[in-house]
Every structure is written in structure tokens, then in C-alpha cells.
Amino acid sequence: MSAFFREVLYHRLMRNRMAMAGAAIVLGMFVLAMFAPLLGGDPGAIDIANRLQSPGFAYPLGTDDLGRDVFTRILFGARISLLVGFVAVGIATFIGILLGALAGFYGRWIDALIMRFVDIMLCFPTFFLILAVIAFLQPSIWNIMIIIGLTGWMGVARLVRAEFLSLRERDFVMAARALGARDMRIIFRHILPNALSPILVSATLGVAGAILTESALSFLGIGVQPPTPSWGNMLIAGKQTLGTAWWLSVFPGLAILVTVLGYNLLGEGIRDAMDPRIKD
């Protein structure tokens, strides 16, 4: 297994130009978010004297209607978006792995019960389900992360179940059973490491989806609340002055576009690299 991942990471993935472009975007956004306090100033600093300044030397991406630096707010908004993406996908992946592993390993009534629950969850449009839940809760970044995570695990569960159904009858699993290994050890020590490929791809693509969902919720005013900078609430704030201050909407929109594109390119690259049917 380690040899396969070494082959993937150092040979096939590195030769995929689109995947490397996506990795560069993802890494660049991560670095910008990490060093936001050093690269920018205070995202909430108000300077009415410099309100609605167009992009220039003093303000590379201009200022908003309160004189706040758009570049600084985009940097701190990247922190919010990446935090939401990673935490939400982490929650969804954990739930999906747990339920998918149980369904695929034990089968029978456990599989039927879990998969019928998955089918029920898939009957509800995810975004509208999130809207319905948030309507009863106070909008906050933590509620957003938890809700996105709790409504996004079904695809992971199906992937993991399919992998476990394929792997549970392999010789190495039979050998582990013969040696007296317990079920939990077989699941997490023997089968799960061999089922990580689709999980990794799903998690990478899921980050992009979570960022889009958070931005959409913030744009609708029920996500991250001002004055905390978020790409979504920056978009809605710039809607009123779109004709005269185009930069208030264009630059946050570009940040969302580039970040989501980066994760999608990286996810597709990982999928191609880990698919043994695709030749170099």
C-alpha cells in the first residue's frame, strides 16, 4: 500500500499539470489565510475618509462603503471559508466512514437499515435542508460548519460501503479473522487503509462544495454574520454599489471561483492518479 501511494504522490500526481495547478492554488490560499494578519491589517478598521476607493497603490483591491480594505477582508474571509470547508468535510467524512464501514462490513439488516437511512436523507435537497435547519438556529460559523457536515456525509457513506463490500472477502481479511482479530481491528486496521482512495477524492471535492455552500448561505444573510468577513457576505454587501464600486463584488467572487477551481482540479487529479485503469 505504501508503495502504491508513493507511486501516486511522486509520479502520477506530479505529472498531472492540472492537479499541480490545483495544488498550487490550494497551497497559495492556505498560506494567504495563515499569514493574513501579517499581509493585511485589521479587517474591521473603518476609515470613512477613504470609503469606496478604487483599486490602487494604497489599496490594491479598493475599499468598501465604510473604508475597510477589501484585500485584508478577503484574506480573513479565506480563513473563514477554509475553516468551514475543512471542519464540515471532517464531520461528514467521519460520519460517512463510520456508517459506510458498518454497512459494508456486517451487511444484512445493518446494511439495510443504514442504507435506507441514507436513501431518506438523499430525498431531501441538501441546500434546502440546511436552510430549514438554520431557520431554527442562530446563524454562526460553528452552526454552519456542523450543519453542512451533518448533511453531507451520504456520498462518503456510499463510497465506503462499496469499498468494504469489495474488500471484506479478500484473503488478507480472511487471514486476519483466522488469527483472531476482532471486527473493529479488521475494519480500521486492515480494510479502511485499503479504501482510502475514494475517501480522499471525495473529501477534496467536498471542501469545494462546503466553501460554495457557506458562501451561498452568507450571501443570503443566514451564514457568517457581519462584521466578520466572509466572501459570501462581502458579495451581498457589494451588490448595492455594483454599478459604481464593481470591485466590492468582483474580487470576493473571484476568490470563491479560484479556490473552488483549485480544489476541484486537485480532487480530479487525485482521482486520476489513484485509478489503476488510467495509464501514464
279 inside domain:
no
Check residue 275 and give its pLDDT.
63
- Segment 242-249 shows an average pLDDT of 84
Residue 132's pLDDT is what? 79
Helix H, strand E, coil C: the string for 204-216 is: HHHHHHHHHHHHH
Which of 6-10, 129-133, 189-193, 221-225 shows the lowest mean pLDDT across its residues?
A: 6-10
160-171 tens-digit pLDDT: 998 888 888 888
Query: Vertex 14, ends 12 and 19: CA angle to 5°?
Result: 95
Count CA atoms closer than 13 A to 9's CA, side-chain side: 8
Q: How many domains does the chain have?
A: 1
Average pLDDT in the 27-34 region?
91
Find the mean pLDDT for residues 205-225. Answer: 85
CB 73 within 8 A of CB 247: no
Q: Is residue 259 within 8 Å of 232, Cβ to Cβ?
A: no
Q: Quick check: is 128 in a domain?
A: yes
Domain-located, residue 49: no
Grid cell, residue 99, equals 456508517
Residue 50 lies inside a defined structural domain of this protein: no
Q: How confident is the model at residue 6 (pLDDT cuts 50, 70, 90)?
A: low
Does residue 46 lie within any of the structural domains?
no
Of residues 14 and 20, more confidence is placed in: 20
Q: Please report, for the domain that includes residue 228, its CATH number.
A: 1.10.3720.10
**pLDDT(276) > 60:** no
Query: Model confidence at 5, in pLDDT bands (50, 70, 90)?
Result: low
The model's pTM is 0.86
Q: How confident is the model at residue 147 (pLDDT cuts 50, 70, 90)?
A: confident
Q: In the structure, what pLDDT confidence band is assigned to residue 157 with cuts at 50, 70 and 90?
A: very high
Quote the domain boundaries for residue 177: 2-35+63-274
**Closest Cα to residue 83, out of 44, 33, 23?**
33
Q: Identify whether 28 is part of a domain.
A: yes
pLDDT at 167: 84
* Residue 56 resides in a domain: no
Please report the pLDDT score of residue 76 as a whole number.
Answer: 92
Indicate whether 44 belongs to any domain.
Answer: no
| Residue 182: predicted pLDDT | 84
Q: How far is CA 105 from CA 158, 191, 201, 209, in A?
A: 13, 9, 21, 29
Structure confidence at residue 90 as a pLDDT band (50, 70, 90): very high
